[in-house]
């Protein structure tokens, strides 16, 4: 009988004929649905914020005027939620080679989706292409295609390359400005990409997976000799960095304390030729002495303990500086 009489369970019928407990259940279900909707909206909004990617800026502008601040202002006007970082703005003016190196040295330590804007652009306003490169590692590089992407393309790979459509991806009312694409095109497009205002496909038309590259001596091992390039100097300490990695260096079968014949050339001219000991760290040789070691990037480098190797021996860096290394024997080293 009780199954036919809710009153037996303390459930009293409401005036509408629906038991009070049922109304209670319905009210709570309605409240639960509202909570789910609110939670979903908050999650979507949070997801939108989380979708923002870091924006990293590099230029040869320096920081003595407002050029960099203008680029950042453009980015913030696109989205106030973007996290903006500086790689450096002290690239030597017009030095595309160094810009390319600084990008590849840094990019691998940033998460996928990071957008890099690099503006070393001596050809600003000319016919050189403005591009965005997506690497196989999932990073984005917004820059003129003038050699800046040399090492990024070689090291991180090209997933896709697109030309910036300036009819869409350009700061409003800047069409008559021809000399500050860093602000009007690159910072603006980079910010839109980082903030997910546009997708990568909306950057512009797809290009062949080929960028302008600066030629230089690749690291190779041939006839018991290592050949390489001096891409950059450790400017703070005067150490000489090469593009010869540990895997190539190991082919010389050296142990700490062994001597290496070092020959450095600028173009076809020999600038330095002498034997240098291989050591693990600076303090393994007397103060002021030279050593050959593996730097923090695991590349072969030359240094003086507590002094500048580059300054003492007048060594520079760039695509026209090369180095050759050979293991010393008793009668082979200078």
Per-residue pLDDT at 20: 60
Q: Which of 280, 311, 314, 276 has its CA nearest to residue 294?
A: 280
pLDDT-derived band at 9 (thresholds 50, 70, 90) equals very low
Section 190-200 average pLDDT: 97
Digit-coded pLDDT (tens) for 140-177: 999 999 999 999 999 999 999 999 999 999 998 888 88
pLDDT of residue 31: 59
pLDDT > 70 fraction of the chain, expressed in percent and rounded: 84
Task: Name which CATH class applies to 220-327.
Answer: mainly beta
**284 contacts: CB under 8 Å, gap ≥ 6:** 256, 291
Q: Which fold has domain 51-207?
A: Rossmann fold (3.40.50)
Residue 50: the pLDDT is 46
Closest CA to 269 of 310, 316, 225, 232: 316
Structure tokens at 167: 């009819």
Ranges in the chain annotated CATH 2.40.30.90: 220-327
Q: Where in the chain is the domain with CATH 3.40.50.10790?
A: 51-207
> 262 is written with which tokens?
């070092």
Is residue 162 a contact partner of residue 194, using CB atoms and an 8 Å limit?
no
d(CA 284, CA 215): 36
Query: What does the pLDDT look like over 233-255, one tens digit per residue?
Result: 998 999 999 999 999 999 999 99
pTM (2 d.p.) = 0.78
- Spell out a b/e string for 176-208, using b for 16 or more CB atoms within 10 Å of the CB, else e: eeeebbbbbbbbbbbbbbbbeebeeeebbeebe
Per DSSP, the residues of 95-152 read: -HHHHHHHHHHHHTTS-TT-EEEEE--TTTTSSPPEEEEEETTS-EEEEESSSTTHHH
State mean pLDDT over 99-123: 96
pLDDT band at 49 (very low <50, low <70, confident <90, very high): very low
pLDDT cut 90: percent of the chain above it: 78
Task: Please give the pLDDT value at position 25.
Answer: 56
Residue 315 in this model has a pLDDT that exceeds 80 = yes
């Amino acid at each position: 009988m009780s199954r036919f009489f809710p009153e037996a369970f303390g459930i009293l019928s409401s005036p509408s004929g629906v038991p009070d407990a049922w109304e209670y259940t319905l009210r709570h279900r309605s409240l639960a649905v509202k909570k789910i909707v609110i939670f979903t909206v908050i999650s979507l909004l949070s997801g939108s914020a989380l979708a923002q990617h870091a924006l990293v800026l590099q230029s040869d502008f320096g920081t003595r005027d407002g050029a960099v601040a203008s680029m950042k202002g453009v980015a913030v006007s696109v989205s106030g939620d973007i996290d903006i970082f500086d790689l450096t703005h002290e690239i030597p003016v017009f030095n595309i080679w160094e810009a390319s190196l600084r990008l590849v040295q840094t990019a691998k330590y940033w998460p996928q989706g990071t957008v890099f804007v690099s503006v070393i652009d001596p050809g600003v306003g000319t016919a050189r292409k403005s591009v965005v490169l997506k690497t196989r590692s999932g990073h984005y590089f917004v820059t003129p295609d003038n050699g800046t992407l040399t090492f990024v393309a070689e090291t991180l790979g090209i997933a896709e390359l697109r030309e910036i459509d300036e009819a869409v991806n350009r700061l409003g009312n800047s069409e008559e400005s021809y000399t500050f694409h860093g602000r009007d095109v690159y910072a603006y497009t980079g910010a839109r990409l980082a903030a997910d205002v546009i997708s990568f496909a909306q950057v512009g038309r797809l290009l062949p997976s080929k960028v302008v590259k600066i030629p230089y001596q690749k690291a190779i091992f041939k006839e018991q000799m290592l050949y390489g390039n001096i891409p950059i100097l450790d400017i703070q300490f005067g150490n000489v960095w090469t593009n010869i990695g540990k895997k190539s260096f190991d082919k010389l079968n050296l142990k700490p304390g062994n001597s290496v014949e070092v020959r450095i050339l600028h173009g076809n001219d020999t600038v330095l030729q002498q034997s240098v000991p291989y050591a693990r760290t600076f303090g393994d040789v007397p103060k002021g002495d030279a050593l050959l070691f593996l730097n923090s990037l695991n590349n072969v480098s030359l240094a003086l303990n507590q002094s500048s190797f580059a300054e003492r021996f007048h060594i520079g860096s760039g695509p026209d500086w090369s180095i050759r290394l050979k293991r010393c024997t008793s009668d082979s080293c200078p």
